[in-house]
């Protein structure tokens, strides 16, 4: 599924860059000034790399270095505890066999990769690989593609929009994890991206990849907190009669190639999409629509 970012979300993202993404000379410190706990952990994670810079933002330390295989790497600690390692690979073809196999099973096989990164997080078991490349779509010769695959080869998603830098959010809100744990009992959180200020988690629940979106971090304000959850359904899923009647009334000649379910505070709905249509036409019909 391709996402469309709203203008106000872009503005929020821009503000975030202005206030958080930029550092001053006062934030830069020497490697020797790092707390002992961080020095010890860093020596294990980066035994022979070359440190480029060390920055301190209140309770957060960010270390940028080139590792032993010449990959650009950022490690972030919060309250002296490791939270994130983000690696941009020099050799875009140096993928784990599971990731490579998963990518080759997609329609983009043999497409040259422009860049590849890996994000490891303390609160997620699997690391997330992001593969960036260009590929034809409809009448666009070279559309940007970003494919997300776990280190065990599980394919998660493909978006045409570039997500925000993973290092901007090293310490994710605990409220998001508590919500997912409660609403989707037994789910595995497989990855995280941020699109224009919207927090999106890839979860594996009941053997289905689901996409959980949060607009805020305060669970006391539900309509500003959890936005929605989307996931694809089998194309032969039986649709309630009231929903199908509404779809036929809206477009009696419409046929869909893909079917999705959307959960939200405002009520659940079905999303019918025709990916063969030039604009990938689709209709969203509420579950409780009246005949």
Q: For residue range 100-128, list pLDDT tens digits in order.
A: 999 999 999 889 999 999 999 999 999 99
In a domain, 1, yes or no: no
Residues 116 and 160 grouped into a single domain = yes
Verify that 146 and 249 share a domain, yes or no.
no
Tell me, what DSSP letter sits at residue 238?
P
Count of domains in the chain? 2
Statement: residue 64 has pLDDT above 90: yes
Note whether residue 2 is domain-resident: no
Rounded to a whole number of angstroms, the CA Rg of the chain reads: 21
My answer on whether 101 and 148 are in the same domain is yes
Same domain, 177 and 277: no
Domain boundary among the residues 215, 231, 247 is at: 231
For 245, the domain range is 234-286
pLDDT for position 16: 43
CB count in 10 Å sphere of residue 165: 13
Q: Tokens 């036409």 sit at which residue?
A: 281
DSSP 152-182: TS-EEEEESSPPPPGGG-SS--HHHHHHHHH
Q: Kindly list the distances between the CA atom of residue 139 and the CA atoms of 142, 161, 240, 277, 279, in Å, as whole numbers in the listed order.
A: 9, 17, 35, 12, 10
- List the end-to-end C-alpha distance of the chain, in Å, as a whole number: 29
Per-residue pLDDT tens over the stretch 192-243: 999 989 999 999 999 999 999 999 998 888 778 999 999 999 999 999 999 9
Residue with token string 């999303």: 271
Is 113 a domain residue?
A: yes
- Check whether residue 225 and residue 257 sit in a common domain: no
Whether 28 and 98 share a structural domain: yes
Pairwise CA distance, residues 238 & 67, whole Å? 52
Mean pLDDT within 76-84: 97
Interatomic CA distance for residues 207 and 187, integer angstroms: 9
Tokens representing 85 are 């390692």
* pLDDT score of 18: 37
Is the domain of 213 the same as that of 89? yes
Q: Same structural domain for residues 238 and 226?
A: no
Looking at residue 111, what DSSP letter applies?
A: P
> pLDDT-derived band of residue 26, with 50, 70 and 90 as boundaries?
low
- Which CATH number covers residue 136? 3.10.450.360
d(CA 217, CA 230): 19
Please report the pLDDT score of residue 9 as a whole number: 38
Is there a single domain that holds both residue 145 and residue 249?
A: no
């Amino acid at each position: 599924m391709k996402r469309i970012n709203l203008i106000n979300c872009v503005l929020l993202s821009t503000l975030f860059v202005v206030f958080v993404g930029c550092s001053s000379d006062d934030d830069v410190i020497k490697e020797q000034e790092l707390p002992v706990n961080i020095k010890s952990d860093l020596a294990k994670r980066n035994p022979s790399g070359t440190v480029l810079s060390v920055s301190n933002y209140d309770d957060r330390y960010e270390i940028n270095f080139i590792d032993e295989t010449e990959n650009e790497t950022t490690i972030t600690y919060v309250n002296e505890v490791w939270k994130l390692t983000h690696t941009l690979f020099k050799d875009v073809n140096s993928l784990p066999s599971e990731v490579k196999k998963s990518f080759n099973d997609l329609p983009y096989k043999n497409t040259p990769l422009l860049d590849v990164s890996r994000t490891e997080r303390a609160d997620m078991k699997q690391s997330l690989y992001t593969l960036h490349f260009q590929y034809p779509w409809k009448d666009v010769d070279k559309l940007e593609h970003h494919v997300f695959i776990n280190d065990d080869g599980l394919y998660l998603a493909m978006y045409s929009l570039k997500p925000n830098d993973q290092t901007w959010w090293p310490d994710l809100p605990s409220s998001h994890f508590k919500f997912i744990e409660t609403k989707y009992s037994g789910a595995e959180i497989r990855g995280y991206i941020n699109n224009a200020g919207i927090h999106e988690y890839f979860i594996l629940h009941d053997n289905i990849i689901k996409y959980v979106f949060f607009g805020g971090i305060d669970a006391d304000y539900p309509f500003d907190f959890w936005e929605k959850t989307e996931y694809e359904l089998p194309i032969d899923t039986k649709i309630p009669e009231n929903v199908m009647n509404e779809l036929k009334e809206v477009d009696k000649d419409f046929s869909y190639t893909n079917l999705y379910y959307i959960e939200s505070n405002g009520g659940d709905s079905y999303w019918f999409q025709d990916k063969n249509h030039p604009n990938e036409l689709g209709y969203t019909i509420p579950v409780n629509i009246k005949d």
